[in-house]
């Protein structure tokens, strides 16, 4: 592993200054992803700024908005009474993530910035446009069972791995940084021709909290994966539903495991509102979600799996 310097900081301004002024610097909190990447040579940093001492762990509700400090650990967020009692989707998505040990260490902000699990990205000996811009994307013709069918480009088809991000997208969350507020729908970038650029954050910008407005709807998170723990989604759905009799009054649907960023198609939600929840209306909504989907030789099964996942979770919430 390449040598790096390590500094602990105690306030947000100092943290931001320390990273913003040094191109090779980055923040470290739980380190559950970053340290693996550095040890594997998939990411190198000259300087790590340890932000664990910053006062950013508070979880509170104010005026109908849940605020979660960026350094709150996944375990603590999932178990918090405000989260369990009001945001079932969020709690379920967190508990479906990683392992208990990882959840005890990993911070909320870091979870949102974890890098893709694409094997070529994590293998420093492989070409990869995301790790080394312009070097190519071997996943297009190679091993792509876990890759995206939505939101990809000729430069990258890597899936965003965060369950938490899917729930936050469905819940219309806001990312709060040291300098601005970013609606969650604008937080992640499509790969396009620049897959190394993954979020709207600028270098040195620090996530300080995530805000989630209350949602008076039944909620849940369905994660389909190859084994039942410590595994990433092949297809995941974060859903919220409010019925009036047999008719859908309101619905939210966001998807993970299938796209280069957490995926939500509000046209599909609009299509379901005011309609009975039938196999036909749910299939029509799935077709809208999958508009523009591109299947590769290894991942075409995700399209059928997504179609089947929608009725499973909506029937469960009905
Ligand atoms: Fe790299 Fe993206 Fe291609 Fe994977 S899919 S090899 S991350 S460019």
* One-character DSSP codes across 91-151: HHHHHTSS-HHHHHH-BHHHHHHPPP--HHHH-TTS--TTTSTTS--GGGTS--TTS-SBS
d(CA 262, CA 52): 27
Distance 298 CA to ligand 1 centre (A): 15
> 141-163, pLDDT tens digit by residue?
999 999 999 999 999 999 999 99
Distance 127 CA to ligand 1 centre (A): 8
Distance 284 CA to ligand 1 centre (A): 31
Q: What percent of the chain is modeled with pLDDT above 90?
A: 99
pLDDT at 1: 84
pLDDT at 22: 94
**Residues contacting ligand 1 via CB (< 6 Å):** 116, 118, 120-121, 128-130, 137-139, 147, 156-158, 195
Weakly modelled stretches of the chain, pLDDT under 50: none
Ligand 1 atom nearest to 138, measured from its CA: 6
Distance 138 CA to ligand 1 centre (A): 7
Distance 160 CA to ligand 1 centre (A): 11
Confirm whether pTM is higher than 0.75. yes
Distance 120 CA to ligand 1 centre (A): 6
pLDDT at 54: 98
Torsion of CA 122, 230, 57, 54, to 10 degrees: -30
Ligand 1 atom nearest to 137, measured from its CA: 3
Ligand 1 atom nearest to 157, measured from its CA: 5
Check if the beta carbon of residue 74 is closer than 8 Å to that of residue 210: no
> 278-293, pLDDT tens digit by residue?
999 999 999 999 999 9
Residue nearest to atom 2 of ligand 1 (CA): 156
Distance 65 CA to ligand 1 centre (A): 37
When the candidates are 2.120.10.30, 3.40.50.360, 3.30.390.50, 3.40.190.10, the CATH number that belongs to 218-317 is: 3.30.390.50
Mutate to test the pocket of ligand 1, among 40, 128, 143 (most ligand atoms within 8 A of CB): 128
Break the chain into its structural domains and give their ranges: 218-317
> 186-226, pLDDT tens digit by residue?
999 999 999 999 999 999 999 999 999 999 999 999 999 99
User: Hey, is 175 helix, strand or coil?
Assistant: strand
């Amino acid at each position: 592993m390449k040598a790096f310097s390590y500094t602990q900081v105690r306030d947000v301004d100092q943290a931001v200054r320390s990273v913003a002024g040094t191109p090779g610097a980055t923040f470290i909190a739980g380190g559950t992803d970053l340290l693996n990447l550095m040890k594997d040579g998939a990411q190198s940093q000259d300087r790590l700024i340890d932000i664990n001492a910053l006062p950013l762990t508070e979880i509170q509700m104010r005026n109908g908005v849940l605020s979660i400090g960026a350094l709150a650990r996944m375990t603590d967020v999932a178990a918090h009474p405000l989260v369990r009692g009001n945001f079932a989707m969020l709690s379920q998505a967190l508990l479906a993530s990683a392992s208990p040990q990882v959840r005890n260490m990993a911070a909320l902000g870091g979870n949102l910035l974890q890098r893709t699990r694409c094997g070529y990205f994590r293998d420093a000996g492989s070409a990869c446009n995301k790790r080394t811009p312009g070097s190519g994307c071997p996943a297009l013709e190679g091993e792509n069972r876990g890759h995206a069918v939505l939101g990809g480009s000729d430069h990258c088809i890597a899936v965003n791995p965060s369950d938490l991000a899917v729930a936050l997208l469905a819940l219309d969350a806001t990312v709060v940084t040291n300098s601005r507020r970013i609606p969650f729908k604008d937080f992640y970038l499509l790969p396009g021709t620049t897959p190394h650029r993954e979020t709207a954050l600028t270098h040195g910008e620090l996530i300080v909290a995530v805000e989630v407005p209350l949602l008076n709807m039944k909620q849940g998170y369905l994660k389909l994966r190859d084994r039942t723990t410590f595994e990433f989604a092949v297809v995941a759905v974060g859903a919220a539903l409010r019925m009036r009799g047999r008719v859908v009054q309101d619905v939210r649907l966001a998807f993970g495991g299938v796209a280069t960023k957490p995926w939500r198609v509000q046209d599909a939600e609009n299509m379901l509102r005011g309609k009975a929840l039938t196999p036909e209306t749910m299939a029509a909504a799935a077709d809208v979600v999958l508009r523009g989907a591109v299947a590769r030789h290894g991942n075409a099964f995700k399209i059928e799996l997504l179609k089947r996942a929608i009725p499973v979770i909506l029937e469960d919430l009905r």
